[in-house]
Amino acid sequence: MEIIWSIIGRKFEDNISPEEEKALNKWINSSTTNKQVYFQIKELWYHKQDQTNNSQAIAAYDKLINRIKFAEGTQSQTRVRNFSFRVNQFAKYAAIIFLVLSFSFLSYYYISEESSKNEMCAISVPKGNKSQVVLPDGSKIWLNNNSKLIYPKRFNKNERKVELIGEAYFEIQRNTKVPFIVQTSDVSIRVLGTKFNVSAYPNDKFIETTLISGKVTVQSNENPESENTLSPGESLTYDRISNHTTINQVDTKFYTFWMKGEFVFKDEKFEILAKRIERIYNVEIIFEDPSLKEKTYTGDFKIDDNVYSILEIFKRSTTEPIEYLADRNKITIRRK
């Protein structure tokens, strides 16, 4: 067991060999409990757990991270990088201490919870991260940041049903006898075997389903008798407020870049971009002037880029002068 913790540590430090990567994946996929524990450790490592569940050490680390965010907007990148390294060293030891103290509890908790929920599994990905899940039928799902997938340990003979909160890209194993169903808060997506992307974050006004290949039908939970069938290259947008549905032809590559750690957008409203930035960097963005939300932008950036560097790009590319003010993890955008 000590060896696996050592491998996990090297994994998070990007210092893992191919053989160790293989051993780690084997351990993760050997049981649901291992998966759950791994993602809990990962969540701690990247300091993204909910404040109510943090130890004092992790809370202190979050406090330091907020200082880094502020420093990144005012100091040179070299100084910030050095400071970030020292803080990351602190976080590593804090996470390890927390892990040693809580591993027994985590193992018991997830084993008990899985049994009590009729063999249901839940994978949560914190803000600023992403993860891949392989389902019992061999289907692959990539979960974007701040997303959750709930699925049965074993699918039944009639359907393969999962529940999604957030965003995910699906590659579904074809089975004409057992359809695959993605359940969100407002729509259900039914497929046989295909590739598609679904964005269904709870606080977003729209739910978006984009088909890469194959065929899917999308059904509103509010109006079950109404179904829409998508062809490759089409994206269906469901308005949660009006229950209205629109289908548009799109360039599908814009819906899969996030899997590579890239954020690509075209003629996207500032309001929608701000929501994505909030989820990626765990910040809150406030528009002092609501009209700024309607501005549109085209561009791309790496998710590893600094949030303030990205905001500087928006600031310099807009025709009307804007500025932003940072207060810890709260960013206010206003006219200059």
Name the one residue in this structure whose structure tokens are 């540590």: 9
Query: Taken in order 326, 330, 333, 336, is the CA torsion positive or negative?
Result: negative
* Span 168-184, average pLDDT: 93
Whether 284 and 45 have beta carbons less than 8 Å apart is answered as: no
pLDDT of residue 300: 82
Q: How confident is the model at residue 138 (pLDDT cuts 50, 70, 90)?
A: very high
Which architecture, in CATH terms, is 261-335?
A: 3-Layer(bab) Sandwich (3.55)
pLDDT tops 50 at residue 35 = yes
| C-alpha torsion 117→120→125→130, nearest 10 | 180
Largest CA distance in the chain: 61
pLDDT tops 90 at residue 2 = no
123-254 maps to CATH 2.60.120.1440 = yes
Name the one residue in this structure whose structure tokens are 């999962």: 162
pLDDT in tens, 45-95: 654 433 334 444 444 444 444 433 343 333 334 333 443 444 444 444 444
Q: Residue 153 corresponds to which tokens in the numbers above?
A: 């340990």
- Fold equal for 123-254 and 261-335: no
Q: How confident is the model at residue 257 (pLDDT cuts 50, 70, 90)?
A: confident
pLDDT of residue 46: 52
Domain locations along the chain: 31-116, 123-254, 261-335
pLDDT of residue 258: 84
pLDDT of residue 310: 85
pLDDT tops 90 at residue 139 = yes
In this structure, of 108-112, 140-144, 167-171, the range with the lowest mean pLDDT score is 108-112
Whether 193 and 138 have beta carbons less than 8 Å apart is answered as: no
Q: Mean of the per-residue pLDDT values for the chain? A: 77
